[in-house]
Each structure stands twice: as C-alpha cells, then as structure tokens.
C-alpha cells in the first residue's frame, strides 16, 4: 500500500484545520490510502476575504463566518484516479461515495448527503452548530483519540502477524514493512 500520491501536499492543507481535528484527518487519510481510495485535499481553512469571494462567485452558500471552513472544521477533496498519468476526477461519483464511507465511519458529515449536494465537502462538528463555532467552539480530540489509538494498535498487530506469515515471500515482506513504516508515521502524527 503506497502513501497517497498527494500525501505531502495534503498534509500542508490539513494543517490549516483545527489542531484538535488533525489526528482524525491523518487517520482518515491513512484508511483511505490503505483501501486504495486516493484523494487530493483542495481546501482546508478559508479566511474572510476568500470566503466572501467564494460566496460572491456562487461557489459557497454562506458568507464569513458561517462556513465550517472558516473555523478549520471542514475540508474539500477531489478523488485521484490511478493510472498513467494520475488524474483528478471531480465527477467520480462512485469514488466520492467510497471515500465518503470512510470519512462518515470516522464521524464526518458529507456534503454529498445534503439536499444541495456538495460532494467534495466534509466537515467535523462533534454535533455542534455553526453558531457554536462562530462563538469560539474548538474541536476536542480527546473525544475520539482513544478510539483511533486502539484502531492503530489493531492494525499494527494485523500487519505484524501478516509479516510473520510471509516469512518466505520477500516481496510481500517488503510491502508489509513499508505499510508498518507508514502506519508508524501516522501514529506519530496522531498522538503528537
């Protein structure tokens, strides 16, 4: 399992989000990568001028500060199609759905489920309203970090068992070692 094609670029966009949300975003990115569901994060935090410009151009339904992007609690993504060359696919409905399944499994709301469909959009609100965020609410990672840590431990155990079973297959062992190294990177980011 390779890292995502745009892993480093994604990480630069993800760090614009709330600190409390970062561990969950890193975990979702890992899970999607593990399942071959590559994506590019196109937007994280959106400032006042950018938000009002997006609204004026009709690309957002709300003005500052009434988007979850304005509070670092939302991202936009586009699926990446595999092959040569790598391609971004805004119209990839089934690929969006498969990625959304992982995000929703981790507690995100998906714009593809809304009455006014916004497939690239994912937000994490912990059940709070936009007014809560406008009034200073910050995402509390303590509510989910133990679950992620437990999931990482389970994944590590599975990979270590697979490594042991593949003792005579050097290619498979190398691939599993790469996966363990990637998982170790994700764990370090999640638990920092």
Q: How many domains does the chain have?
A: 2
Q: What is the pTM of this model?
A: 0.91
52 domain-assigned: yes
Any domain includes 124: yes
**Average pLDDT for the chain:** 91
- Residue at 178 is within a domain: yes
Distance of alpha carbon 46 from alpha carbon 83, whole angstroms: 32
153 and 181 part of one domain: yes
CATH of the domain at 130: 3.30.1380.10
Range(s) of the domain holding residue 153: 146-191
**Do residue 178 and residue 119 come from a single domain?**
no
DSSP tally for the chain: helices H, then strands E: 7, 5
Q: How far apart are CA 90 and CA 126, in angstroms?
A: 27
Inform me whether the pLDDT recorded for 85 exceeds 60.
no
Per-residue pLDDT of 88-101, as tens digits, reads 555 666 788 999 99
pLDDT tens digit string along 133-180? 999 999 999 888 988 999 999 999 999 999 999 989 999 999 999 999
């Amino acid at each position: 399992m390779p890292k995502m094609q745009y892993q480093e670029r994604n990480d630069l966009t993800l760090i614009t989000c709330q600190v409390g949300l970062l561990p969950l975003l890193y975990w979702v990115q890992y899970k999607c990568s593990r399942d071959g569901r590559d994506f590019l994060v196109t937007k994280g935090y959106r400032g006042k001028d950018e938000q009002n410009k997006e609204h004026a151009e009709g690309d957002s339904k709300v003005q500052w500060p009434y988007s979850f992007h304005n509070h670092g609690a939302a991202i936009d993504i586009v699926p990446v199609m595999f092959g040569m060359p790598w391609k971004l696919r805004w119209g990839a409905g089934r690929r969006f759905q498969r990625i959304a399944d992982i995000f929703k499994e981790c507690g995100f709301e998906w714009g593809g489920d809304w009455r006014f469909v916004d497939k690239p959009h994912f937000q994490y609100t912990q059940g709070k309203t936009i007014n809560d965020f406008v009034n200073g609410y910050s995402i509390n990672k303590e509510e989910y970090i133990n679950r992620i840590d437990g999931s990482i431990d389970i994944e590590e155990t599975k990979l270590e068992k697979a490594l042991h079973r593949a003792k005579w297959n050097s290619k498979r062992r190398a691939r599993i070692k790469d996966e363990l190294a990637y998982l170790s990177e994700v764990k370090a980011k999640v638990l920092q």
